[in-house]
């Protein structure tokens, strides 16, 4: 039996994907081999990789300058790989600090060039997205984290800037319509909205590459990955396969526009309960609330553990907040059904009445 899985990542996947994947673990598309046993350069797997890349392109409506890659190393590797490929020694890159993940990206970028932190919401424990910032004219790029998984804040619109824009979209990739073509590079660990842990999706504009003079180790050079069809070395075969199935599922749901409608409903339902239930309280500025990671606290902290246990009995799991922001966090990724949010809201109502 499946539970209502609100985990922040790895997280819930569509049932359809899990069924297909479990079948492929035994016999991948009639090859007589498991997906785990098949050579990555064989025709059936190359087709998986190509379909995954082309579905990303299609679902994000990327223009021809973009190349899509599935790499190893998580979004964390991108914190370093982005500046290594794009930022020359002595040049400046601008970053907006909206939490732990932006901070990690900033720390890595400092190894390659000068980093200007154009704005930060650190003073208020990252409970909002900074609205005012100035990006130095000479900046090679501006880096943002579109959704802050830990704190529950999200950029509601793509910031206006004259410099190339780079985004870590690990926790809201393909959850809402955006003009992805306004970006120069987008990266995301796929384990939240796009599949299982083990692969990182990078969409990069070819026109951004080849401009730094430093020597880039082959495995970290985007150009070599592009030249090799995202198969410079053995790719994370199973993770790419799960991504391909998840992308197919998303397309079958009607794509990003359709899933956005469901995501809006789920978030509205939960935030409405948080705003009207006297026992719970939202943590972040209302205008910056994330539709993917809903953070909230309980007004009587002594009831926190009891609420988690109560939820567990109702088959609701993964709602404990990150240790840095405390309270609760309910992640509402694409594959989480609306029904799970309805069950969660009922549990909040019932618990609150019981404790009144
Ligand atoms: N960026 C964001 C926004 C995240 O939420 C996470 C992980 O939760 C990461 C980066 C790190 O990703 P990975 O564990 O794939 O390196």
Evaluate if residue 325 carries a pLDDT over 90.
no
232 & 267 share domain: no
Percent of the chain past pLDDT 70, that is, above it, reads 100
Which residue's C-alpha comes closest to atom 2 of ligand 1? 170
Q: Is the peptide bond before 10 cis (omega within 30 degrees of 0)?
A: yes
Evaluate if residue 258 carries a pLDDT over 80.
yes
Reported ipTM: the value is 0.99
Q: Decide if 290 is inside a domain.
A: yes
Residues 122 and 257: their CA atoms lie apart, in Å, by 33
Q: How many CB atoms lie within 10 A of CB 34?
A: 13
Q: Decide if 100 is inside a domain.
A: yes
Instruction: Give the residue-averaged pLDDT of 163-183.
Output: 98
The answer to whether the CB of 98 is under 6 A from ligand 1 is no
The domain boundary residue, chosen from 252, 281, 304:
252
Residues 129 and 147: their CA atoms lie apart, in Å, by 10
194 & 266 share domain: no
Task: Give the sign of the dihedral formed by CA 148, CA 153, CA 156, CA 157.
Answer: negative
Q: Looking at residue 64, what is its pLDDT?
A: 98
143 & 236 share domain: yes
Cβ pair 158, 186 in contact under 8 A:
no
Closest CA to 225 of 62, 71, 76: 71
Q: Decide if 2 is inside a domain.
A: no
Is 233 assigned to a binding site? yes
Q: Decide if 8 is inside a domain.
A: no
177 & 317 share domain: no
Residues 94 and 137: their CA atoms lie apart, in Å, by 10
pLDDT digits (tens, 9 = 90+) for 201-250: 999 999 999 999 999 999 999 999 999 999 999 999 999 999 999 999 99
The structure tokens listed for 317 are: 């799991």
Which of ligand 1's atoms lies nearest the C-alpha of 150? 5
Evaluate if residue 1 carries a pLDDT over 80.
no
The structure tokens listed for 177 are: 């319509």
Q: Decide if 96 is inside a domain.
A: yes
More confident residue, 114 or 355: 114
End-to-end Cα separation, the chain, in angstroms: 32
Instruction: Give the residue-averaged pLDDT of 36-56.
Output: 97
Percent of the chain past pLDDT 90, that is, above it, reads 97
Q: Looking at residue 323, what is its pLDDT?
A: 87
34 & 118 share domain: yes
User: 292 CA to middle of ligand 1, Å?
Assistant: 14
Mean pLDDT over the full length of the chain = 97
195 & 302 share domain: no
DSSP H helical ranges for 189-317: 222-227, 237-252, 255-276, 304-313
Alpha carbon 218 to its chain's center? 26
Which residue's C-alpha comes closest to atom 6 of ligand 1? 170
Q: Which residues form the domain of 320? A: 255-355
245 & 270 share domain: no
Residue 78 maps to which CATH number? 3.40.640.10
The answer to whether the CB of 331 is under 6 A from ligand 1 is no
User: 171 CA to middle of ligand 1, Å?
Assistant: 7
295 & 164 share domain: no
Which of ligand 1's atoms lies nearest the C-alpha of 200? 15
Residue in this structure with the two tokens 């424990």, named with its chain if needed:
125
Q: Decide if 268 is inside a domain.
A: yes
Q: How many CB atoms lie within 10 A of CB 205?
A: 18
> Quick one: pLDDT band at residue 283, thresholds 50, 70, 90?
confident
175 & 310 share domain: no
The structure tokens listed for 253 are: 């749901």
Q: Is-above-0.90 flag for pTM?
A: yes
Residue 300 maps to which CATH number? 3.90.1150.10
Q: Looking at residue 34, what is its pLDDT?
A: 98
Residues 324 and 329: their CA atoms lie apart, in Å, by 11
39 & 179 share domain: yes
> Quick one: pLDDT band at residue 324, thresholds 50, 70, 90?
confident
139 & 28 share domain: yes
The domain boundary residue, chosen from 217, 252, 287:
252
Cβ pair 27, 348 in contact under 8 A:
no
pLDDT digits (tens, 9 = 90+) for 84-120: 999 999 999 999 999 999 999 999 999 999 999 999 9
Q: Decide if 209 is inside a domain.
A: yes
Residue burial 223-250, b: 16+ Cβ < 10 Å; e: rest: eebbeeebbbeebbbbbbbbbbbbbbbb
Beta bridge partner(s), residue 329:
295
User: 170 CA to middle of ligand 1, Å?
Assistant: 6
The structure tokens listed for 200 are: 């990182």
The domain boundary residue, chosen from 236, 252, 268:
252
Counting the structural domains of the chain, the total is 2
Which residues are part of the catalytic machinery?
Answer: 101, 168, 192
Q: Which H or E run contains 83?
A: helix 74-86
Task: Give the sign of the dihedral formed by CA 254, CA 255, CA 257, CA 263.
Answer: positive
Q: Decide if 213 is inside a domain.
A: yes
Residue burial 76-113, b: 16+ Cβ < 10 Å; e: rest: bbbbbbbbbbbbeeebbbbbbbbbbbbbbbbebbeebb
98 & 196 share domain: yes
Residues 327 and 252: their CA atoms lie apart, in Å, by 35
Q: Show Cβ contacts of residue 180 under 8 Å, excluding neighbours closer than 6 positions.
A: 60, 61, 62, 186, 203
């Amino acid at each position: 039996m499946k539970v209502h899985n609100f985990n922040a990542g790895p997280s819930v996947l569509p049932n359809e994907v899990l069924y297909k994947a479990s079948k492929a673990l035994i016999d991948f598309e009639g090859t007589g081999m498991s997906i785990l046993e098949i050579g990555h350069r064989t025709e059936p797997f190359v087709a998986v990789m190509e379909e995954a890349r082309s579905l990303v392109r299609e679902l994000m409506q990327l223009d021809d300058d973009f190349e899509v890659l599935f790499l190893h190393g998580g979004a964390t590797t991108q914190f370093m790989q982005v500046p290594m490929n794009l930022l020359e020694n002595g040049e400046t890159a601008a970053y907006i600090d909206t939490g732990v993940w932006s901070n990690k990206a900033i720390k890595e970028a400092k190894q390659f060039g000068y980093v200007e932190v154009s704005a930060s919401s650190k003073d208020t424990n990252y409970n909002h997205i900074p609205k005012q910032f100035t990006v130095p004219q000479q900046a090679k790029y501006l880096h943002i984290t579109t959704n802050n998984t830990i704190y529950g804040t999200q950029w509601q619109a793509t910031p206006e800037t004259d410099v190339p824009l780079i985004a870590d979209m690990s926790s809201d990739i393909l959850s809402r319509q955006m003009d992805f073509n306004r970006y120069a590079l987008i990266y995301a660990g796929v384990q939240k909205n796009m599949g299982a842990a083990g692969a990182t999706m990078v969409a990069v504009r070819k026109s951004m590459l080849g401009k730094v003079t430093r020597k880039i180790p082959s495995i970290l050079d985007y150009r070599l990955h592009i030249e090799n069809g995202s198969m410079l070395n053995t790719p994370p075969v199973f993770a790419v396969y799960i991504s391909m199935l998840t992308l197919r599922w998303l397309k079958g749901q009607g794509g990003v526009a359709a899933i956005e409608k469901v995501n809006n409903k789920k978030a509205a339902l939960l935030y409405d309960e948080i705003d009207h239930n006297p026992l719970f309280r939202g943590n972040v500025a209302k205008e910056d609330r994330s539709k993917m990671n809903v953070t909230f606290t309980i007004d009587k902290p002594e009831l926190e553990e009891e609420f988690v246990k109560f939820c567990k009995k109702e088959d609701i799991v993964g709602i404990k907040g990150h240790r840095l922001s405390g309270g609760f966090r309910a992640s509402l990724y694409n594959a989480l059904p609306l029904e799970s949010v309805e069950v969660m809201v009922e549990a909040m109502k019932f618990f609150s009445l019981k404790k009144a």
